[in-house]
Structure 1
Amino acid sequence: MRFSKKIESCNLSPIRKFHPYALEAEAKGRKIYHLNIGQPDIATPKEFFDAIQNFRDPVLAYAPSAGIPEYVESVRQYYAGLGISLETGDILATNGGSEALQIVLQCILDEGDEVLIPEPFAPNYTTFVRLAGGQVHPIPTSAEEGFFYGARDRIEREITPRTKAILITNPGNPTGAILSPESTRIIADIAWEHDLYVIADEVYREFVYGDQKIVSLAEFPDVAQNVVIIDSISKRFSACGARIGALISRNKELIGHAMKVCQGRLCCSTLDQLGAAALYSEGPAYFAVQKEEYHRRRDTVMEKLSQIPGVVCKCPEGAFYLMAKLPIDDADAFQKWLLTDFEDHGDTVMFAPGEQFYGTPGKGKNEIRIAYVLKQADLERAMDLLAMGIQAYQGRTQGA
């Protein structure tokens, strides 16, 4: 049987592709410390579960395709609290931020259209762009520069006649980098001047660890027709399994086209939307506690990395990820070896190899993404295992 060229051009997730090796390691009795996937261990607020348990309707019916009123209004009010005025019709409920991005790309891309994305970027972006018929055009960055890309010349020189959109994540996944307000304005201006969509994945907005100010692209009304915001409850409220997000844009024509897809997939989960709406009752105190915890974890990881000779890693400013360049040749081979050949007192560690976070062939081969989502003691142990693993792996290859 034949398959589409679109799906054959996609890869398995680098975050999940080592799962079979992990199962084999666990079958041998090894404990694996997971730095590979951004699954927070912080408890989901009880308001989510209370809302579902209090559901009393006799029939669990389809929700409106655009989202239940309670959820849409909770999102609108959340943005109002940020000083961003939205209408109800600017918001569509989606099955996580992932579906929001898929819908947008399906609405704007024709075969061969390009999406500019600063690399490294979430590998799922490549999958979504290709399945919509487009191509990723990477904006190069480097670990040595802290993955900076927010300058006019760095972006404009990558624009081609096929460019349709710029896709950014702020704060960044996998880098933890933050765009300054000035860089965010530059990107908005470039989108306006070149008649491009600018899609901003802002799901990590609450996770900023210094004095930096996050500016949403939705704060620029003069480019409202160009801007699309991708949002989600997954990381903000540690509710990844609920799969509730939002597609947000003041571009009424775009929302109208997106509604065709929303109606085609009928609706998002009624119960999960009710739970999501309840989550938005959480206030600043909740986010302050989360941020303090992740700040401490970030500092732990950076301290441990600084003690490993040859590692290159700029301190991330936001989200709960970082990209690190390791003193090895191939992060894929190293990860496989950690799962098949390495252990310390029965323990080993997983990360996400970096190559598939890049669009430029050959880049990221000796880089890894770390998600610092483990509790403190586990995080310290995981980083010690990484250091021991690097030392043992170098000794193995040097002695070969």
Structure 2
Amino acid sequence: MPNVSHKGKSMPESPIRKLVPYADIAKKKGVKVYHLNIGQPDIKTPDVALNAVKNADIRVLEYSHSAGFESYRTKLSQYYKNHGLPVESQDIIITTGGSEALLFAIGSTMDAGDEIIIPEPFYANYNGFATASGVTVVPVISTLEEGFALPPIAAFEKLITPKTKAILICNPGNPTGYLYSKEEIQQLAEIVKKHDLFLIADEVYREFIYDEGVQHHSVLNVAGIEENAIMIDSVSKRYSMCGARIGCIVSKNKEVMSTAMKFAQARLSPPTYAQIASEAALETPQSYFDEVIEEYKERRDILVAGLEKIEGVKVATPKGAFYCIAQLPVANADDFAQWLLESFDHNGETVMVAPAAGFYSTPGVGLDEVRIAYVLKKEDLKRAIEVLEAALIAYNAK
């Protein structure tokens, strides 16, 4: 029988989705599953986006330009300018989700065998994107005790080799919710300039900032690294449009963008209807975001307060996005997460979490941690915390 590729064998499973079969079985048994495992917002998609698709008068569903609709890129450029980012339409290529934008960024800046430094824990699919591209992830560990702040720059310096081509950050962070300060972004800017590296910033959660006096700082706002900076963005979370699969890669570096365009041409074009929805979504009023942010802030506060009351649980308060990492009083969060779905229910209910070891690339780290997405309604979130507490008591009493 023919063999699958070594690359395929080394592709990591998603810690977010790998337990889905167990959840499906639990539901068929009649158990209610509270999904804390996946960042799928339950906030309504803006009507302006949905109506644009419903009312689209299309006779032939054609390819679009490989870079995406010019009208969309022009309006997106204005959106960024309104947020203080100096972005022109030619600095943007529309992609099939932020995932494809990351693949384009890695493919345009790195060859097989090159290295990319990423503060961990990090979005689990970064491991998959690197594996698919033949690139080695070099982790620099941030810790719950430090609130997942940027590790010391000296720690980055020690890891830089002739094979290092980029540093990748997620800001605000998935899975930690950590928001990098202006000073931390400046420190990263100085090190990439010093070592002639790219600084790739996944900024898809830029709108989700919760505390007074705190703001998002983009790598595109840092003077002097215009040739180093690459931003990744997406409509998935901003407009609760995960299924649209529309994102973009943004950079002032013309060589990077012309190279990314070759990848864009190879996949032909991003989806037409999703671009129609995404372009229309730019008309979403500020009131929509104000309400969404207030809702998520309340959910965050409910979750953190609830987790802190559970004996043995530690959590760092997230400043943005809608995730947190919680350290649980268990030896193996993978086993606990599967047990929750296979063998446990509390009055006919259980919870699904994402084991956090999959958000690290360092072996043996994060084994007692889980990522929790606070994307449930407040009442369901409160109930899920109660179920989790009951589960920890039962699990540790086995």
Whether TM-score is above 0.5 comes out as yes
Number of the residue aligned with 2:357: 355
Number of the residue aligned with 2:340: 338
Q: Quote the Cα distance in structure 2 between the aligned partners of 1:54 and 1:226.
A: 41
Q: How does 1:288-327 map onto structure 2 within 5 Å?
A: 288-327=290-329
CA contact (8 A) 1:96 1:244 kept: yes
Deviation at 1:290, TM superposition (A): 0.7
Deviation at 1:23, TM superposition (A): 1.2
Deviation at 1:158, TM superposition (A): 2.1
User: Matched residue of 1:223: which SS?
Assistant: coil
User: Matched residue of 1:116: which SS?
Assistant: strand
Aligned pair partner of 1:268 in 267, 270, 274: 270
Per-residue CA deviations over 1:196-228 (Å, capped at 9, x if unaligned) read 011000000111111222110001241011010
Q: Quote the Cα distance in structure 2 between the aligned partners of 1:146 and 1:31.
A: 32
Q: Quote the Cα distance in structure 2 between the aligned partners of 1:230 and 1:5.
A: 29
Per-residue CA deviations over 1:108-157 (Å, capped at 9, x if unaligned) read 21121111000001110001011111011001111111111253223222
Q: Quote the Cα distance in structure 1 between the aligned partners of 2:112 and 2:86.
A: 35
Q: Give the superposed CA RMSD.
A: 1.0
**TM-score (structure 1 length as normaliser):** 0.97
- Correspondence 1:118 to 2:119: yes
CA contact (8 A) 1:176 1:317 kept: yes
Q: Quote the Cα distance in structure 2 between the aligned partners of 1:171 and 1:335.
A: 25
Aligned residue type for 2:84: G
- Correspondence 1:181 to 2:182: yes
Per-residue CA deviations over 1:53-106 (Å, capped at 9, x if unaligned) read 221132111101000122212210110101112221100000010000011111
User: Matched residue of 1:136: which SS?
Assistant: strand
CA contact (8 A) 2:233 2:249 kept: yes
Q: Quote the Cα distance in structure 1 between the aligned partners of 2:340 and 2:4.
A: 34
Aligned residue type for 2:59: P
CA contact (8 A) 2:80 2:87 kept: yes
Q: Quote the Cα distance in structure 2 between the aligned partners of 1:58 and 1:26.
A: 41
Aligned length: 396
What 5-or-longer segments of structure 1 have no aligned partner? Answer: none
**TM-score (structure 2 length as normaliser):** 0.98
CA contact (8 A) 1:70 1:274 kept: no
Q: How does 1:161-310 map onto structure 2 within 5 Å?
A: 161-210=162-211, 211-310=213-312
What 5-or-longer segments of structure 2 have no aligned partner? Answer: none
Per-residue CA deviations over 1:30-61 (Å, capped at 9, x if unaligned) read 11000000000000001111111221132111
User: Matched residue of 2:37: which SS?
Assistant: coil
CA contact (8 A) 1:355 1:367 kept: yes
- Correspondence 1:61 to 2:62: yes
Aligned residue type for 1:162: K
Q: Quote the Cα distance in structure 1 between the aligned partners of 2:256 and 2:8.
A: 25
CA contact (8 A) 1:150 1:187 kept: no
- Correspondence 1:40 to 2:47: no
